[in-house]
Structure 1
């Protein structure tokens, strides 16, 4: 039984037709720096027949920080700053309810269940703080002979 979303077709599953990214960075080797990065994945077919499609999703991430002498760096990253509620990943496949396994005749899903879009939403806005630098103390201890 062919259910819409489960029929053969000419679409490549999860292959987006539009992928775009753009980044703007400012700063020098030492001192303040910053960046904005936008990433977009367009809608894509989730089944071979193209009946079920994902939604497009774009995220905007930001970074600001300071580079010190000696290789140390402090930075703050903000992810999904516009709180886009799109899908991080989507799949199209058949789902079964508890009653599906009882084998009612004429059930529209048949043996494949009801085809639908299943997804994991994008992560909500979040922040990461990083302090990084050279590990000179550890490096000298590791290079010392035993």
Structure 2
């Protein structure tokens, strides 16, 4: 009987230890760790926020998104050999709404450094303070997926 109680006690201790270690989470990222976030600047002015991003990769195309239909951005980058930005759509960030895409409107370039992807270029669209006048804006998006 004592052997049976010891065996049950040992089993319970092992299960508790395994269960607690499974429930523990890693420490939160440091403020300088960009993991899962992005920063955006419009005309060299930071938009003042760090955005949480959703990153999805299908084969070699990486889609980075944040925000909603009213404010945020969507970027698509070909990551096959070296990063090659294909499309950027900015929705009311820094007061700017506009787009750029390869072979069409605007200019795009992408670089990868230390796990961060930077997409830079010029988008065509408008500013919220004068939404009837077409405008261009330089932008930089740095994301860590």
Q: Tell me the TM-score range normalised by the shorter chain.
A: under 0.3
Higher relative contact order (CA 8 A, sep 6+): 1
Structure with more of its chain in strand, by fraction = 2
Q: Normalising by structure 2, report the TM-score.
A: 0.24
Q: Normalising by structure 1, report the TM-score.
A: 0.24
